[in-house]
Amino acid sequence: MPTLHGFSYSNYYNMPKHALLYKGVAFEEDLVYPSAAGYNELSPALKVPSLTTDDGKHLSEAAVLCEYIEDAYPEKPLFPSEPVARNQVRQLMHMAELYLELPFRRLLPFSFSGQQAPEQILNEVNGVVDRGVNSMNALASFSPWVLGDTFTMADIYLYYCLSVADMGSAMSGIDLNARISGLAEWRAAFAEDPVSEKVAADTAANRDSFFAYIKG
């Protein structure tokens, strides 16, 4: 059985976790923070998540884990088989990460410490997020899922990218729901799924432990 390493407060951890739960794959969870001794053997970049496969190999980087899970457990596919459609899913995953998750992630240290981010950083974040908003408005139909009638890895990836955006939205004043057509309704539908509810409950349960870790 594969083992997913990391912690539930991590949005990146929750991407492969959601995929495994969606597919009904049995897996173990290993609660570990990146500074743990020996974690570099699982993830050389010291990033969460990482995954140990059935045959004892280690993989890291959330998008890689998501692709691996699809390859190793093809039942209940999360990527279309047709090449263009398959890469449209990857395209949306990349754009969600590069132009929404990563800019908002720059605000996390300020959000966690309760300090206002400098104007220059906020301007830079805004500039990158504009690309994300334009990309989503151009590519995501939210009808009812991100790329149309089929639930895909793009739904999972975008959903958990947005949890970091939420933490930075008050500080940046960026309201993605207002700027991306159909986003709010899609998020509400995604959140109601039992898998999403389980992931959200595990995330909440890990909150105190995570904040104790970053304080340390």
Ligand X SMILES: N[C@@H](CCC(=O)N[C@@H](CS)C(=O)NCC(=O)O)C(=O)O
Residues in the chain: 216
Q: What are phi and psi of 52, to 5 degrees?
A: -100, 125
Residues 6+ apart with CB under 8 A from 149: 143
Burial class (CB in 10 A: 0-12, 13-18, 19+), 167: middle
Minimum distance, C-beta of residue 29 to ligand X, in the bound complex (Å)? 15
Q: Torsion over CA of 98, 104, 40 and 16, rounded to 10 degrees?
A: -70
Interface characters, 50-89, with ligand X (x: CB under 6 A)? -----------xxx--------------------------
Q: What are phi and psi of 58, to 5 degrees?
A: -110, 135
CB nearer to ligand X: pick between 25 and 36 = 36
Minimum distance, C-beta of residue 63 to ligand X, in the bound complex (Å)? 6
CB nearer to ligand X: pick between 45 and 138 = 45
Minimum distance, C-beta of residue 2 to ligand X, in the bound complex (Å)? 16
91 three-class SS: helix
CB nearer to ligand X: pick between 10 and 206 = 10
CB nearer to ligand X: pick between 134 and 213 = 213
CB nearer to ligand X: pick between 48 and 92 = 48
Number of residues that bind ligand X (CB under 6 A): 10
Structure tokens at 62: 């959330």
Helix (H) / strand (E) containing 108? helix 108-113
Q: Which one of residues 48, 66, 133, 156 is an interface residue with ligand X (CB under 6 A)?
A: 48
Q: Does residue 34 interact with ligand X by CB under 6 A?
A: yes
Q: Which residues bind ligand X (CB under 6 A)?
A: 10-12, 34, 46-48, 61-63
